[in-house]
């Protein structure tokens, strides 16, 4: 079976969708499935198809031409797909030419990764009402619609009454994301973190929906309410490069000047396991998450997590077992749970061990096995059965 994933998000882009697509591709191939990726790229200086030689193809489109819903751009995608000739398309885009050109030629499935789907469903703007009506009609032609969490599946069902909506969560590579004391010591030395320091890691990009400003407010709350704990904490914040200058300024102004903060514009995805290993607590203060891959990565690394009680996170993180769930947008509660974990090394260790076991239930090996079942179902499904 030859599967072609179509996505706008792939490395060097950092984020949940890019991670999902790359790992699903790798683990499907390990199962003997011919998995390939078509990555549509906006590129100001290049135009054309780049073949990595690993089953990954980058279709570069010059700047301002990326609106591939235009017929000219959709035609380019169509020609590449015909050249690769898959048995099944797996779409990771919110909409696109695939729906127009492949309604009858290729069977396809779609995964709903997008937090934008929630805002689209809630919108009453005339433009969004039209988009919803179009997507509703187009999605009915999918063989299967896939949610990455029960929250995701519920949102999809609100958009379209499709008979085959399945839940297949994103996974975690439990061999890459694992505890390692040697790596921990070396990375902490590199970060100039002392043995008694407690590292609180924020692993997300800087954006309002990711709650970066909430994280900053929590740091300030700890400084004011528990200065003795505050002095032991080192805050590692990554993902600043993705934020507009105005939002960077807003976040940085909320952080106390005497806080020990390491701010990184980005972390190479290959190095992410090392930063989790160097950490004692991971904070995910998102205002919404379809799933929350960073929560899984932290848990697999045996690090307790303090995360917002939103979306797909609630289907992964068990409050009081793997870490703590807090109300979204509540920096005081986020701070209190960080303080609580900071005061007990034994609690952090026990929660980390439980979290690691829980993360194994979401291994990419299991996810790829479940996805293969979905592909078989989609390939055998006759549209006329509806």
Encoded tokens for 340: 């609580």
Q: What is the mean pLDDT of residues 148-155?
A: 91
Listed residue (209, 237, 233) closest to 308, CA to CA: 209
Q: What's the pLDDT at 175?
A: 96
Does position 171 have pLDDT exceeding 80, yes or no? yes
CA pair distance 181, 120, nearest whole angstrom: 45
| pLDDT value for 63 | 58
CATH number attached to the domain at 181-361: 3.40.50.2000
**What's the Cα-to-Cα distance from 26 to each of 85, 137, 320, rounded to whole Å?**
19, 32, 33
* Per-residue pLDDT tens over the stretch 69-107: 455 567 778 888 889 999 999 999 875 544 444 455 788
Is the pTM here over 0.85, yes or no? Answer: yes
pLDDT of residue 162: 94
Cα distance between residue 206 and residue 244, in whole Å:
9
Percent of the chain with pLDDT over 90: 71
- Please determine whether the domains at 2-171+364-385 and 181-361 fall in the same fold group of CATH: yes
What pLDDT is attached to residue 75? 75
How far is it, in rounded angstroms, from Cα 204 to Cα 225? 25
Here the tokens at position 151 are 């929250």
Spell out the domain ranges in the chain: 2-171+364-385, 181-361
CA angle 138, 140, 145 (to 5 degrees): 105
- 82 phi, psi to nearest 5 deg: -65, -35
Q: What is the CATH number of domain 2-171+364-385?
A: 3.40.50.2000
Q: What pLDDT, in 10s, does the model give residues 55-73? A: 999 998 775 544 444 555 6
* Extended strands (E) in 44-181: 48-51, 56-62, 88-91, 108-112, 144-147, 165-167
pLDDT band, very low/low/confident/very high, at 353 (cuts 50, 70, 90):
very high
Strand order in the sheet with 198-202: 261-263, 233-237, 198-202, 281-284, 305-308, 323-326
Take residue 110 and report the two structure tokens written for it: 């779609």
């Amino acid at each position: 079976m030859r599967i072609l994933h179509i996505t706008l998000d792939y490395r060097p882009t950092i984020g949940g969708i890019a991670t999902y697509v790359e790992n699903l591709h790798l683990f499907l191939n390990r199962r003997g499935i011919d998995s390939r990726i078509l990555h549509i790229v906006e590129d100001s200086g290049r135009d054309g198809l780049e073949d990595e030689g690993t089953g990954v193809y980058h279709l570069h489109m010059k700047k301002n031409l990326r609106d591939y819903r235009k017929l000219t751009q959709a035609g380019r995608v169509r020609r590449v797909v015909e050249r690769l000739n898959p048995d099944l398309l797996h779409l990771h885009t919110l909409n696109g030419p695939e729906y127009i050109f492949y309604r009858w030629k290729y069977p396809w499935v779609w995964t709903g990764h997008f937090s934008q789907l929630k805002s689209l469903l809630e919108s009453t703007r005339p433009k969004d009402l039209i988009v919803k009506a179009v997507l509703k009609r187009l999605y009915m032609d999918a063989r299967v619609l896939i949610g990455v969490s029960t929250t995701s599946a519920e949102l999809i069902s609100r958009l379209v009454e499709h008979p085959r909506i399945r839940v297949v969560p994103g996974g975690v590579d439990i061999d890459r994301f694992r505890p390692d004391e040697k790596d921990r010591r070396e990375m902490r030395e590199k970060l100039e973190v002392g043995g008694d320091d407690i590292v609180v890691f924020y692993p997300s990009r800087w954006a309002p929906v990711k709650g970066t400003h909430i994280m900053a407010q929590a740091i300030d709350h700890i400084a004011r309410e528990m200065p003795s704990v505050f002095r032991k904490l080192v805050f590692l914040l990554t993902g600043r490069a993705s934020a507009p200058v105005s939002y960077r300024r807003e976040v940085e102004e909320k952080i106390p000047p005497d806080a020990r903060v390491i701010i990184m514009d980005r972390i190479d995805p290959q190095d992410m396991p090392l930063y989790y290993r160097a950490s004692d607590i991971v904070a995910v203060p998102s205002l919404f998450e379809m799933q929350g891959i960073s929560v899984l990565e932290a848990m697999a690394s045996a690090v307790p997590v303090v995360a917002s009680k939103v979306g797909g996170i609630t289907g992964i993180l068990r409050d009081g077992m793997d870490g703590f769930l807090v109300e979204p947008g509540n920096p005081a509660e986020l701070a209190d749970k960080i303080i609580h974990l900071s005061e007990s090394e034994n609690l952090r260790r026990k929660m980390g061990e439980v979290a690691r076991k829980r993360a194994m239930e979401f291994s990419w090996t299991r996810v790829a096995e479940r996805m293969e079942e979905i592909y078989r179902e989609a390939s055998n499904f006759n549209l006329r059965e509806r």
